Amino acid sequence: MSSLVTGSDRPTASHHPEAWVAIAPARVNLIGEHTDYTGGYVLPMAISFSTTATITAANDGKYHFKTSMSAEERTMDPHDRSERIGHWSDYVIGVLRQFQTLNIEPTPFVLELRGDVPLGAGLSSSASVEIATAQAIATFSGKSFMAEALAVLCQRAENQYVGSPCGIMDQFVVAAARAQHALLLNTRDLTYEFLPMNRAALASCRIVVANSMMKHSIADGDYGIRRREVEAGQAIMRNTYPNLRDLGDATLTQLESCRGWMTKESYHRCRHIISENGRVLEAKAAMMCGDPVQLGKVMTLAHASERDDFECSIDEIDFLVETALELPGCYGARLTGGGFGGCTVNLVEAVEAERFSQALQRAYRGRFNLSAETYICAAVDGATVRPASEQTARDSQS
């Protein structure tokens, strides 16, 4: 695991008590859902919600974890190796544990988190917390990680300590994103490329995220059940086709040949993932041509697959998608994130974005008596870190 410590593409800190501030964005996934734990493709972008982690030296020999989102703090001895306790700090301490497995033992510190990423909305609040925390601890400890390595470390923290079976997408884009671009990631080998969000007619479009306000957590049961169904189907396909590494290699023809040995659930889950990989590549082609019509069409097809094959949508989300597609200026809409609540992502003409948002909110309130939040989003850079004094100066100028 020591290979995770790499050459730097970030500032390196001396080992001293200066305060550091790390800022990590949220993300929205344009297309490529539930493909990131089966060697497939994803196409997310970072958005301007963020988590800020400020780290300073502690003078009492302990680690302190605080957040503006909760009055509950946590303090622990550096030699403490206790397991998760079902507390918000599990996400932070899980990251610390990963550093400790690399024999990186930070000196005592105070880590304070604040942020505005909507919780439970499918916009990667947990990955934002993890990456901000990791960047802060690494810099404070005088260590330097490439964005890719930082993402892997944080995924392991969530998988192994928090107990959430997430894939690599969220942490990767939060760490590595580029402004005005989406990030096309091959989740098997972590190769990636940036696709422009402002080419040709796409330049006149905006990404509008609609928050159903129906909370979800991928640490809960439904996500885990779906993942086990996928993995069972994948295992059957690999037994039949020994050269098949995972569903990222699979074809729908191969899936059909294995259908008789699978449960109905595994077949449908695998069909979603295999077809979704194809849709991600179609989305890439549309973006490279700057074609919002084709991109919107592929996004909408992706939602139908999530709804019918993966069965991770809910009535509120389906209503938001169906309503969006009837509104002026909307090219496409789909569920984004793990599902079972959360948000939709919509491709909308810029001149219609405000009216679209208001109309969608009115319709949702009329149908469910709930107030949906909408966010008109731009693609932003991934995580950054700088001395707290520099961040204070930036804040005072803004």
Beta-strand ranges (E) seen in the chain are 20-31, 41-57, 63-67, 70-76, 109-115, 181-186, 191-196, 205-211, 330-336, 343-349, 373-377, 384-387
Claim to verify: residue 274 and residue 158 sit in the same structural domain: no
Burial class (CB in 10 A: 0-12, 13-18, 19+), 60: exposed
Claim to verify: residue 244 and residue 152 sit in the same structural domain: no
Claim to verify: residue 87 and residue 42 sit in the same structural domain: yes
Claim to verify: residue 206 and residue 127 sit in the same structural domain: no
Number of domains in the chain: 2
Claim to verify: residue 324 and residue 298 sit in the same structural domain: yes
Claim to verify: residue 187 and residue 225 sit in the same structural domain: no
Claim to verify: residue 275 and residue 363 sit in the same structural domain: yes
Claim to verify: residue 169 and residue 79 sit in the same structural domain: yes
164, 193, 222: which is the final residue of a domain? 193
The CA-atom distances, in angstroms, between 93 and each of 17, 20, 241, 254 are: 20, 18, 41, 42
Claim to verify: residue 119 and residue 237 sit in the same structural domain: no
Q: Flag whether 389 is in a domain.
A: no
Strands, sheet with 330-336, edge to edge from the N-terminal-most edge strand: 330-336, 343-349, 205-211, 373-377
Claim to verify: residue 81 and residue 185 sit in the same structural domain: yes
pLDDT in tens, the chain (398 residues): 223 333 333 333 344 548 999 999 999 999 999 999 999 999 999 999 999 999 999 999 999 999 988 889 999 999 999 999 999 999 999 999 999 999 999 999 999 999 999 887 778 899 999 999 999 999 999 999 999 999 999 999 999 999 988 889 999 999 999 999 999 999 999 999 999 999 999 999 999 999 999 976 554 578 889 999 999 999 999 999 999 999 999 999 999 999 999 999 999 999 999 999 999 999 999 999 999 999 999 999 999 999 999 999 999 999 999 999 999 999 999 999 888 999 999 999 999 999 999 999 999 999 999 999 999 999 999 999 999 887 765 776 66
Which residues are catalytic, by number?
170
Q: Flag whether 385 is in a domain.
A: no
Claim to verify: residue 150 and residue 203 sit in the same structural domain: no
Q: Flag whether 159 is in a domain.
A: yes
Residue span of the structural domain in which 238 resides: 198-377
Q: Flag whether 108 is in a domain.
A: yes
Whole-angstrom Cα distance, residue 268 to residue 25?
33
Instruction: Give me the CATH number covering residue 358.
Output: 3.30.70.890
193, 221, 244: which is the final residue of a domain? 193
For tokens 């790390």, the residue is 22
Instruction: Give me the CATH number covering residue 70.
Output: 3.30.230.10
Q: Tell me the whole-structure pTM to 2 decimals.
A: 0.91
169, 193, 217: which is the final residue of a domain? 193
Claim to verify: residue 229 and residue 133 sit in the same structural domain: no
| SS3 state at 100 | helix
Residues making up the chain, counted from first to last: 398
Q: Flag whether 392 is in a domain.
A: no
